[in-house]
Structure 1
Amino acid sequence: MTTRIDINALAFLLSEAAEAEIRPRFRALGEGDVRTKTSAIDLVTEADEAAERYIRAGMEAVLPGALFIGEESVAAEPALLSKLAQADLAVIVDPIDGTFNFAAGVPLFGVMAAVVSGGETIAGVIYDPMGDDFVLAEKGAGAWQTGGNRPAVRLRATDAVPLSEMTGMASTSFLPAEKRARVMANLAKVAFAANYRCAAHEYRTFAAGHLHYLMYNRLMPWDHLAGTLISQEAGAYAARFDGSAYEPRHLDGGLLIAPDSESWHMLRRKVFVV
């Protein structure tokens, strides 16, 4: 059975949530509006929780009957995440990706949603509340940037280049200490390595052709499902560290994305030796 998605309605819902709950709180969080979850760099704000409630309330009209899995919902009910693998239809939402930046007043954060049908990611949306535009994709239909009263532009990953000329983003925080030290030393082999602390903008930048690689170790679905699909629809090659396909059920195993298979294998062999 083919699941019909109104991706524009999904995108509009994310932008509505940002207008109602996120932008008004940016650089206006009060005392007690920011709390830690698992560590000092894992934060949640009133804006995260309010935006997720807003999106959840509107989702029945967009995807009737879909299982709703939001980052903050899972924080409150961890068992919810285990339902994703069995769901016929699910929507996975990160109400604010880049909460650390948001709480610090840095305008580099996004709102993300992915649609999963029968264990496969079939649609993804990343909304930039500050730029008021989207990158989005449906499986088999390409990746696009749209919004902000500008015409839609098809996104394409960059061409492959030699290792020494590669620029990209590597999230090393969740690697074990020994492996992190090895990877960080190996990153001297590429031209540039950074980390926005915001997967939403890292995926946007990659899919628009401005980076040659993305690397992540921890695979929470709200962080990576939308961006991986968008990157693949932009022509990129994505796989877990062992070479297997990244699927919605995966929570570990790492993720590496590159312009093509040859670049992926070069990076895996010479840089991301984890």
Structure 2
Amino acid sequence: MTIAPDKLAEILRDAAKREILPRFRKLDEGMVRTKSSAIDLVTEADVGAERVITAALKQAAPDALVVGEEAVAADASLLDRALDAPFVIYVDPVDGTANFVGGLPLYAVMASVVVNGETVAGVIYDPMGDDWLMAEIGSGAWLKFPDGRAIPQRFSDPAPLNDMIGTASPFYMQPAARAKVLANFNKLRMVASYRCAGHEYRLAAGGNIHFLMFHKLMPWDHLAGSLIMQEAGAFVARFDGEPYLPAHRDGGLLIAPDQDSWTELRQQVFVDA
């Protein structure tokens, strides 16, 4: 009741080559639609890639419940049904769709494997670089390449607060809390947002930043990345300090080099998040 991460990466890579890359910077007006807001977009690449990935996963792991972002957009009950399923594979066919639509090469294809309510594997594939971050629980985090090379990943060492560099997405917070958090960014060296969780996790896995903060939690956005961060040595928790689990859809997520750094960030920067 599982699927090998290497096989999962192969499926994501094949879908990207078939459905995503041929459409990059070649989207006609009719190929892009708005979902919940002006920045929540879906394209023919999202739909096509999810269709290909889902079909391949059902063949490779027929006992898995495949939960794709676009399938949930069509049938929200699928997300609730997944909570009771023993074997679930969550899929984000194009993470960073707004970047993809804008022709920015910062988008990713992600999948995570959940067995009996525990995330056991995750893959983040970068179609532009043709490589992928991968983690299997207890086996470390790796950057892998089609030629077989594999580079172990390690989260950054702790740093003083005023030297910390990281990414944050406070944009779904209530206005008053968001204003306070944005003011607190002055305590840090640098804060950015790539509008693509996959690439932010990629940056962090290589030890290039000291923290990541996300407010909105959907399983296809963060299960793979949070496992990769843990396997790379980071401290990962929701804003209340509790572990992040596949059932969680709110409560925020904060990732730091260790628990002390996490606590300092929570108290000094993300205090009202």
Name the TM tier (shorter chain): over 0.9
Aligned CA distance change for structure 1 residues 32 and 4 (closer, same or farther; 3 Å)? closer
Residue 207 of structure 1 is matched in structure 2 by 205
Aligned residues, how many?
272
2:39 corresponds, among 41, 53, 56, to 41
Corresponding position: 1:166 with 2:191: no
Residue 151 of structure 1 corresponds to which residue in structure 2?
149
Do the aligned residues in 2 keep the contact of 1:6 with 1:62 (CA within 8 Å)? no
In the other structure, the counterpart of 1:27 is 25
Residue range with higher mean Cα deviation, 142-151 or 102-111: 142-151
Alpha carbons 2:2, 2:115 under 8 Å: kept: no
Offset, 1:149: 2.9
Alignment of 1:191-230 (within 5 A): 191-230=189-228
Which ranges in structure 1 are unaligned for 5 or more consecutive residues?
none
Q: Deviations over 1:53-103 (max 9, x none)?
A: 000010023322100100000000011000121110000000000000000
Alpha-carbon distance between aligned partners in 2 of 1:151 and 1:67, rounded to the nearest angstrom: 31
- In the superposition, the TM-score normalised over structure 2's length comes to 0.98
2:8 counterpart residue number: 10
Alignment of 1:168-187 (within 5 A): 168-187=166-185
Question: What TM-score results when the alignment is normalised by the length of structure 1?
Answer: 0.98
Q: Which residue of 2 aligns with 1:135?
A: 133
Alignment partners' CA distance in 2, 1:218 and 1:8: 29
SS state of the match for residue 124, structure 1?
A: strand
1:4 Cα deviation after fit: 4.1
- Report the residue type matching 1:246 in the other structure: Y
1:189 pairs with one of 187, 190, 196: 187
Match of 1:103 in 2: 101
Cα distance in structure 2, aligned partners of 1:211 and 1:186: 18
Aligned to 1:259: 257
Counterpart AA for 2:13: S
Equivalent in the alignment of 2:85: 87
Query: Identity over the aligned pairs, expressed in percent?
Result: 56
> One-letter code of the match for 1:178?
A
The C-alpha deviation readout for 1:107-144, integer Å capped at 9, x for no partner, is 10000000000111000000000000000000000000
Contact 2:32 2:41 in 1 (8 A): yes
Q: Distance in 1 between matches of 2:146 and 2:166?
A: 26
3-state SS of paired residue (2:89): strand
What SS is found at the alignment partner of 1:64?
Answer: coil
Matches within 5 A, 1:227-266: 227-266=225-264
Q: Could you tell me which runs of 5 or more consecutive residues in structure 2 were left unpaired when the two chains were aligned.
A: none
- Counterpart of 2:3, as a letter, is I
Alpha-carbon distance in 2 for matches of 1:269, 1:186: 10
**Separation in structure 2 between the aligned mates of residue 4 and residue 41 of structure 1, nearest angstrom:** 34
Counterpart of 2:108 in structure 1: which amino acid? G
User: Which amino acid letter does the alignment assign opposite residue 248 of structure 2?
Assistant: H
Instruction: Output the aligned Cα RMSD.
Output: 0.8
